Structure 1
Amino acid sequence: MQFVKITPDEFEKFTTENFSHYTQSRLNYEHLEHDYNNAHLLGVKDDNDEVIAAGLFTEARALKYFKYFYSQRGPVLDYNNIALVNFFFKSLTSYLKKHNCLYVRLDPYILENLRNADGEIVKSYDNRILINTLESLGYKHEGFTVGYSKTSQARWLSVLDLQGKSEKQLLKEMDYQTRRNIKRTEEMGVDVCTLPIEETDRFFKLFKMAEEKHGFSFRDEPYFEELQQAYKGNASLRLAYVDLTKYLSNLTTKLNTLQTQLSEVESALEESPNSKKQKTKHTQITQQLNSTRRKIDDTENTIKSDGEILDLAAAIYIYNDHEVYYLSSGSNPKYNPYMGAYKLQWEMIKFAKAHGIDRYNFYGVTGDFSEDAEDAGVQQFKKGFNADVEEYIGDFVKPINTAAYTLGKAIGKL
């Protein structure tokens, strides 16, 4: 085996053929190298010159004179091959020392537990040998954390398995209310479009509403523009919207149909005034008529106050050969009755199926499954789509220059 710098072509081939996160991609490497000149493609080749391990590492300044290295959701290799793990990380240490590294962080894309949406373990993966091996190589495991972190990637992800399932089966496996909400969005004419990068502000306006609702601050608008540029055709903004003029037209058509049906029932009741069946139909149609008239009134008033086109919800998605990732989103709470978020998710699940992608990744949850969890509502929303929760192994940190790292920690500069 040999530890080498690998080419973008070699890296792309390896990460395409082996399960990997979207951050471990050629697109991300080219973006980082072009804009920041801070990326390293490192790997191991076997005796046949075939790549058997690969990782994208980034560097950043630390304590003015040193560098901090990070492999986000990487590196990509068979972590069950302990000999390979030993060789890769021993060789990596030698490489980092030559590049004035202070310390390195890893958060491999390795499952610790597969859980259902209520947090119960469905399948557990025994990573003790791997953790012990990495710790013997100087990597400190930062533990099985719960909650969101400002310094680490989400350790808990909500993922829907699409493999071998039709759209019909996926819908059937969702809970009743989620299925019903998706159906209602179709009845209301809610649609989804792709926003060009020039209209990122439409997404960001909705995203800011989510920040205000949940009391957090994440990124500014240029970040989302950069993300689209970095991942080119593999990142997009999707917007759920409704054209109220079309919805109003459909409601009017429905109203006319119901009025015709009511007239027919009333005629039948004149002939058979004691018919329970016709009386029941009369009550049901009358209720539907009243409901439709209210919707028409509400829609006409909304058009007058807010306009004909309503932006309901928007999200930014990235996908690779392995997963579709639902990263960041926002919605206008004023328009929650149109349930744009449900339409967004369903359309992108269908997108994944159409592109032969087997995983739909709803992304991070806290891992706190109690009723008062800070993301309890978000978890319930994702649970409705029948998503499981994947718990990952977590972060590992290794000081390369131990003395300087210890000093930096002591003075609070890391």
Structure 2
Amino acid sequence: MTRKTDLRDHAHAMPHHNGRTELIYDITPITFNQLDLLSAGHPQGGFQQTGHMAHLAEPDVDDMDLIGVTRNGVLSAGCLIAWTRGRLGLEGSIWLGPLCALDDPKLLEHITRGIRLAARRRHAVSVTCWPNIEYQRHDADGNPIGAPDTMILDAYRSCGWKHQGFDTGYGKVVNRWNWIRTFDGIKDERTLLASYKPRTRWSVNRAKTSGVQIRELTANDLGMFASIEQKTARRRGFTARDENYYRRFKETFGSRAHFMLAEIHAGELLTRLTAEYDKLAERLDLLRTQYENHPTSRIKRQEDDITRNLTAMEHRLNEARALASRGSVIPVACALFVEHRREIVYLTAGALPEYRSYQAPALLVHEGMLRLCVNRSRMPRFNMYGITGVFNDPDDEGRGVLEFKQGFDGHAEELVGACTLPTSTIRYKLVEAVHAIKPLKKAGR
């Protein structure tokens, strides 16, 4: 689908007065492989700026361009542009890109020139990018850490980009607010669990002792994953992808996509709880015999404790019997983790509410961190993805998601947000006028 347009542009070397030569910048089309290599080694790299993402998105867009900038022959900046048709013409999107360090202003100037050139060749209205650059870091409670990086906005504005503002809420295209977990000092599962908040640690242990087990799915085994996702979407009011999409995702990203399914092994749980109940009952009978022969307050306390434990165990046994009547293995939750050289992304998840008490989502995240980050010393960053950026409103739509993610420790990452490059001034102004009219109509209703 990616069209081979002639995007080459050269900034020729010029000698300095001291005899040294300036850097040479070339704007050039790049291949999927070149984009992947750039993304893998770039501090702004992510799975959304890869050839894998281009192949996945192909059915949903009109066309694509891959553009790079070389500096003295070395690829130093680049991006994937996805083109979709709006009311007044093509509009470009650069998801979590372009990949362009800001320590060399010439790089951003040239990648912007390349983007503008590609847009004009396609007679596009505009291009919107979402740079994968941290604007402001916040602690777990939302308090700013340090000062915002306003130089990002200055650099983009100087190249003609228009910043779309600092918003909160879930992003419609790209999340501006994400929850990030790192693993300094975390060596194994014990230290990982110890870093969680007590409630989250309890949830993980509760899932483990309630028969919840995690397994990874193959491309041909994604029906249940899609089913749980769709039920979750209907409950929460968003549109879910179908099984074919997730199969394409797995086929495209291969071993980089980890589809995890949480299942309650009800048969095993019932067998284990029955054995534990019988063992407690035997212990209770023994204590009663001892008390009859030699009554003491110590034996009585032990007898009362075990009686209470048996009552609780009987309740869990009844739950396990009800579960086992539905099947020996019951799927209850799912999650998709995407692997990139720079991070693991917790991309999407779903859960069936009738099994909420089994805490499967907590175990899914824990296993994702443990298997894909802690057990791999080269993977120091776990991106739990979107939060709303609202920390002080208990009624905020994302409150439950925020509290869930806060429980695993970490911090909030506020990205710079959307920047738009108008490439057809008249049509872009018309688009802006239409967007300005819509809120006025809503207000007048």
Q: What is the Cα deviation at residue 9 of structure 1?
A: 2.8
Match of 1:312 among 332, 350, 355: 332
Separation (CA, whole Å) in 1 of partners of 2:382 and 2:111: 31
Separation (CA, whole Å) in 2 of partners of 1:313 and 1:89: 43
Q: What is the Cα deviation at residue 45 of structure 1?
A: 1.1
Contact 1:163 / 1:359 at 8 angstroms: preserved in 2?
Answer: no
SS in 1 for 2:156: helix
Partner of 1:184: 206
Q: Deviation string for 1:164-191 (max 9, x for gaps)?
A: 4223222111011111121122212211
Partner of 2:15: none
**Change beyond 3 A, Cα 1:36–1:59:** closer
Separation (CA, whole Å) in 2 of partners of 1:384 and 1:36: 37
Separation (CA, whole Å) in 2 of partners of 1:123 and 1:310: 47
SS in 2 for 1:314: strand
Partner of 1:380: 403
Q: Which amino acid is 2:79 matched to?
A: G
Of the structure 1 ranges 202-211 and 403-412, higher mean CA displacement relative to structure 2 is found in 403-412
**TM-score, normalising length from structure 1?**
0.91
**Change beyond 3 A, Cα 1:388–1:271:** farther
Partner of 1:45: 70
Is 1:371 aligned with 2:394?
A: yes
Q: What is the Cα deviation at residue 124 of structure 1?
A: 3.5
SS in 2 for 1:69: strand
Q: What is the Cα deviation at residue 132 of structure 1?
A: 2.1
Separation (CA, whole Å) in 1 of partners of 2:434 and 2:399: 37
Separation (CA, whole Å) in 1 of partners of 2:144 and 2:60: 42
Is 1:240 aligned with 2:262?
A: yes
Q: What is the Cα deviation at residue 111 of structure 1?
A: 0.6
Q: What is the Cα deviation at residue 84 of structure 1?
A: 2.2
| 1:34-113 to 2 correspondences below 5 Å | 38-47=63-72, 49-63=73-87, 66-113=89-136
**Change beyond 3 A, Cα 1:406–1:115:** same
Contact 1:148 / 1:154 at 8 angstroms: preserved in 2?
Answer: yes
> Can you give the 5+ residue segments of structure 2 that lack an aligned partner in the other structure?
1-24, 439-445
**TM-score, normalising length from structure 2?**
0.85
Q: Which amino acid is 2:415 matched to?
A: Y
SS in 1 for 2:220: helix
Is 1:170 aligned with 2:192?
A: yes
Q: What is the Cα deviation at residue 163 of structure 1?
A: 4.1
Q: Which amino acid is 1:140 matched to?
A: K
Contact 1:206 / 1:332 at 8 angstroms: preserved in 2?
Answer: yes
Is 1:351 aligned with 2:371?
A: yes
Partner of 2:11: none
Q: Which amino acid is 2:344 matched to?
A: V
Match of 2:347 among 317, 327, 335: 327
Contact 1:326 / 1:362 at 8 angstroms: preserved in 2?
Answer: yes
Structure of higher RCO (CA pairs closer than 8 Å, 6+ residues apart):
1
Q: CA RMSD in A?
A: 2.3
SS in 2 for 1:76: coil
Contact 1:32 / 1:38 at 8 angstroms: preserved in 2?
Answer: no
**Change beyond 3 A, Cα 1:22–1:124:** farther
Would you say how many aligned residue pairs link Structure 1 and Structure 2? Answer: 408
SS in 2 for 1:281: helix
Is 1:158 aligned with 2:179?
A: yes
